[in-house]
Structure 1
Amino acid sequence: MKNIYKGLILSLLVLGVGLAGCSNDDNNPSPDGKDYASLDDKLDYSLARNEVDFLMETYEKDADRKYHDAELPTKFTEEQNVFMQNALTINLNHSAPVVVLPMLRGIDGNGEKVYYIITEASDFKMAKKLGVNYSPKLKYARGSEGVQKATVNGDGYMVFEGSVDFSPVRRIEPGTGEFAFPPSVAQPGAVGDENYSPIVVLPSNLVLNATPVKNVTGLHDRIPEGERSLDLDEMWVTLQILDGFQGGRAYYYHLVTDAYDQVPATIELGIYAPKLGKIPQFGQSTLDEESALLGFSPVGNGIDDLQSDNRQGLSSAILSDQNGSGSLAPLDPINVFPIEPQNELEKNNNYSPLWDAHISKWTDEAIEKGYQRRITSFQDLKSLVDKGWVVSFTPDAGPVNSYVAGLNASNAIINCPVIAHPKN
């Protein structure tokens, strides 16, 4: 009887049909208190729960272990401050930080086997169940052309519309102007097709951040040692994480998976995903704005002395790339972020992994006077902008954003889920 019942549920999932008596957001108020009636559809909570349950059950069958158990206490210490509770292990050694995540199997738009990770969910309870970051702002991606739709098939595997080509050879060369950034050549090592987006909408309207890391064409560039860094029997993958600053503290570890623009996709070893640019809304970052994005600030021309403790910026990351070939991962740009994920906060939560870049630039006068240093927080950034030492690197690209110190949006989205921010 149990197998018959499971088969019936899976059939409904494939068809995208809700079960009798399913509740929706009318009965389950939205986590941030907003009315999402203006969106195309609302979340079918019961269907979302079934979708997630079957994805987890299939993973557990494939890996012969639990995907995540929300009832168990965290395996990480308070000092480690790990947000991604589904992480199997994490190495916060500052010289080579990595995270090991569960790797699920699915089917891509070419009908081929694909392995992927889940890092965020748009619903509070589903994020808890999956052990991933809660990102209510992802709801605003629904109905846009920037997402891809997916279903759960009768075997419990995700079936995607799009696919990624991991075969290109990543290549980056410094710019020929005053700074290494922007580069003169930027060729990403992975390219999504016209249907690919990491922001996935299931039939229930649950939104997941689900990025492929392996398929028939190759591996994600954030996998540090190729096939040795993943296991297809135990279903895990090791991924490099990057340093950043938030609230005056370094080691704001995040994982770059995708980018809308070829330049950040190449610099930070992500998948070039053009569809991300169709997710609303550049330059909008506050709770009151209906945007799936959240503003942050890379530094375009920070100190590029690779031996300096004050090294920071996109130029320094480009210069650190071995021979410009990408054969080794570049040094981190050390970008500046506004907030941490708040996975225990169901309402008034502003976290999103879709970071809307507002690239800053030290002025010639600030450089001449020796004021260049690491920018360590949004408050610090605002102070430098107010003093006139820092301006927008791309002043004509996008709208001015008061949330990001009045800098202009650079019209570049980087998908970088936040993994941990250790307190020691």
Structure 2
Amino acid sequence: MKSMIQSGTWSRIRTLAALMLGALPVAVMAQPSPGVFGPGPGCNVFPASASVGATVGLSYFGPPPSSTNPSLVGPVQLLKSGVVDEKAGTITLPLYRGTLNGSNKPVWFILTDVNDAQVADFLGINYSAKLNFTANGARNAWFDAANNVVFDRGTVDFTPARKVVAGSAAAPFPPSAAEPGSVGDDDYSPLIKLGNIIYNAPVVAFGLEAADINFPAGNPDYTKVHDEVLAIDTTEMTVTLQLVNGFSFGRPVWYISTEASLANVAAIEGATFAPRLQKLVTGRDDSFSSPVERIFIAVNGPSEDGCANPMRQGLYAALTDGYRPNNVFGGIPTIAPDYSPLWNGNLYEWTQPAVARGYRGQLREEFQILTYVQDGLLTGPGGSKFGDSQFIVNCPPVQRLN
């Protein structure tokens, strides 16, 4: 998206679309996101039971193969520190309280990933070797006398109202307005370096005391907490977050979305704008020193009929019906060792000849997408060269659904 802004592509697309059909007047993506169980198959990736079409009920089936080997058919909970509610599509995680150096303001955060495998196992969070290469996008932290985390710098303002307005009916993306609901300063990063260990520690509230952000029954004040928070309990020290639908190598996954390195991306994601993440190197995928893994985001995927369309996918769909775009991850834990919670956006667009021939559909796997690029069915936005869109979203996976 950054490269599109720099080149003026957004402006040209918006101007042309406005001349053709006029802008859509409706703001979409309320706080928080609508959730993983939409009103149709295009907004719900939860797999069917193995008993469908069989002559016996589900109780006749043994445990999933993942109980023997997590790389086999799931489900598999990846972020084990939390409690996943499969009926609500949420995760409740431990909530931590730290302070900001100097001002001593409270910093309320969660832990999702770490670059040390033993610490990951101990805490039940995701292990990511690629976090070893994120020092230039991290901030420093240390423990005080009570072993609470002190952050050297970085603040987050949760008071802005999130606003996303679709572009034209013909081209809903890019949006005509995109303002994130929480904004980090230039020093804020969810990545913290504690000694020699780097953690992914997204902030969900900042600068307020426990009583000010205590919403254990839900309905939180979104001027005080992250837009994806559904409930926060400062007595039990837990926070419940909305999950998001996606895919990794053909398998449906649930994840959380907490930060993005560009403001417009953060607005669409319901995430905190964290400009410091833009310091991280992108475009290198799995090469030495790369801190990122790729996420593939359709621009003009199937959007007709919204959630009722089982092939629904992409930003056109998300900006018109308000549900998530069903993005495709590269490797996640249990599937590949190259996992990073820092996803390097790779936007793709179906070519008009491919659309005209009826080839457009929902894509669920990285190398399927790359092959279609090679075959000329997909390009970058506006017919540009496919590749690094030069932004990062912080999206730790929570559960692999099969």
- For normalisation by structure 1, the TM-score amounts to 0.70
Alignment of 1:201-280 (within 5 A): 201-202=193-194, 204-215=195-206, 216=208, 218-224=224-230, 229-250=231-252, 252-279=253-280
Q: Does 1:112 align with 2:112?
A: no
2:296 counterpart residue number? 297
Amino acid at match of 1:222: E
Task: Answer whether contact 1:97 1:241 (CA < 8 A) is retained.
Answer: yes
In structure 1, what residue type is equivalent to 2:285?
A: S
Query: Which residue in 1 is equivalent to 2:130?
Result: 137
**Cα distance in 1 between the residues matched to 2:105 and 2:373:** 49
Q: Give the letter for the 1:374 counterpart.
A: Q
Say yes or no: does 1:418 pair with 2:397: yes
Per-residue displacement from partner, 1:207-255 (whole Å, max 9, x unpaired)? 000011123361110113xxxx1211111111011111112222x1111
Within a 5 Å distance, the mapping from 1:60-71 to structure 2 comes to none
Which of 335, 356, 366 aligns to 1:378? It is 366
Alignment correspondent of 1:318: 319
Measure, in 2, the Cα distance between the counterparts of 1:262 and 1:315: 18
The reply on whether 1:85 has 2:76 as its aligned counterpart is no
Tell whether the 8 Å contact from 1:395 to 1:408 is kept in structure 2 after alignment: no
What do residues 308-348 of structure 1 show as CA deviations (whole Å, max 9, x unaligned)?
Answer: 11111012112123xxxxxxxxx1111111222149xxxx9
Secondary structure class of the residue paired with 1:284: coil
Contact 1:134 1:342 in 2 (8 A): no
> SS of 2:283's equivalent?
coil
1:262, CA displacement in angstroms? Answer: 1.3
1:95-152 per-position Cα deviation (integer Å, ceiling 9, x unaligned): x51111111111136531121100000111111121110011111112x1x2111111
Amino acid at match of 1:290: S
Number of equivalent positions: 315
**Preserved contact between residue 304 and residue 311 of structure 1 (Cα < 8 Å):** yes
> In structure 2, which of residues 317, 324, 332 is the aligned counterpart of residue 340 of structure 1?
332
| Residues 222, 239 of structure 1: 8 Å contact kept | yes
Letter in structure 2 aligned against 1:115: W
Match of 1:359 in 2: 347
Alignment-derived partner of residue 6 in structure 1: none
> Which has the higher relative contact order, 1 or 2, with Cα contacts under 8 A spaced 6 or more apart?
2
**Distance between the aligned counterparts of 1:356 and 1:269, measured in 2?**
17
Residue 260 of structure 1 contacts residue 414 of structure 1 at CA under 8 Å; is this kept in 2? Answer: yes
- Code of the aligned partner of 1:223: V
Distance of 2:74 and 2:296 partners within structure 1: 26
Contact 2:113 2:128 in 1 (8 A): yes
- Where 1:408 maps in the other structure, the secondary structure is coil
Amino acid paired to 2:228: R
Amino acid at match of 2:118: K
1:181 & 1:81 partners in 2: Cα distance?
34
Partner of residue 368 from structure 1, selected from 350, 356, 367 = 356
Which runs of structure 1 show a deviation greater than 4 angstroms over 4 or more consecutive aligned residues? none
1:369 CA displacement: 1.8
In structure 2, C-alpha distance between the alignment counterparts of 1:373 and 1:84, rounded to whole Å: 30
TM-score normalized with structure 2 length: 0.74
Name structure 2 gaps, 5 residues minimum: 1-66, 209-222
Determine the C-alpha separation between the residues in 1 that align with 2:146 and 2:299.
47
What is the deviation of 1:387?
Answer: 2.4
2-structure distance, mates of 1:205, 1:394: 43
Q: Could you tell me how far apart the structure 1 residues matched to 2:251 and 2:133 are? A: 30
Residue 168 (structure 1) aligns with: 160
Distance in 2 (CA, whole Å) between partners of 1:311 and 1:317 is 9
Distance 2:127 2:73 in 1: 19
Is contact 2:85-2:91 (8 Å) kept?
Answer: yes
SS at structure 2 position matched to 1:118: coil
User: Which residue identity does 1:284 align to in structure 2?
Assistant: R
Query: Which AA in structure 2 matches 1:294?
Result: E
CA contact (8 A) 2:260 2:272 kept: yes
Tell me if structure 2 keeps the 8 A contact 1:81–1:421.
Answer: yes
C-alpha contact 1:302 1:362 (8 A) present in aligned 2: yes
Matches within 5 A, 1:190-201: 190-201=182-193
- Partner residue of 1:8? none
Q: Matched residue of 1:296: which SS?
A: strand
Q: How does 1:150-189 map to 2 (within 5 A)?
A: 150-160=141-151, 161-176=153-168, 178-189=170-181
Which SS does the other structure have where 1:139 is aligned?
Answer: helix
| Structure 1 unmatched ranges of 5 or more | 1-72, 322-330, 401-406
Determine the C-alpha separation between the residues in 1 that align with 2:144 and 2:123.
19
Q: Secondary structure at the match of 2:369?
A: helix
**Does the 8 Å contact 1:342/1:351 carry over to 2?**
no
Q: 1:128 to 1:319 in 2, by over 3 A?
A: same
Pair 1:394–1:213, CA change in 2 (3 A): farther
| Secondary structure of the corresponding residue to residue 84 of structure 1 | coil
Do the aligned partners of 1:174 and 1:180 also contact (CA within 8 Å) in 2? yes
- Determine the structure 2 residue equivalent to 1:69: none
Q: Distance in 2 between matches of 1:132 and 1:350?
A: 16
1:308 lines up with 2:314 in the alignment:
no
Say if 1:170 and 1:188, in contact at 8 Å, map to a contact too: yes
Amino acid at match of 2:232: L
SS of alignment partner, residue 178 of structure 2:
strand
2:348·2:381 contact (CA, 8 Å) conserved in 1?
yes
Contact 2:293 2:331 in 1 (8 A): no
Describe the superposition over 1:364-414 as per-residue Cα deviations: whole angstroms up to 9, x where unpaired: 111222221101101221232232111112776xxx7xxxxxx31000100
Counterpart of 2:105, as a letter, is E
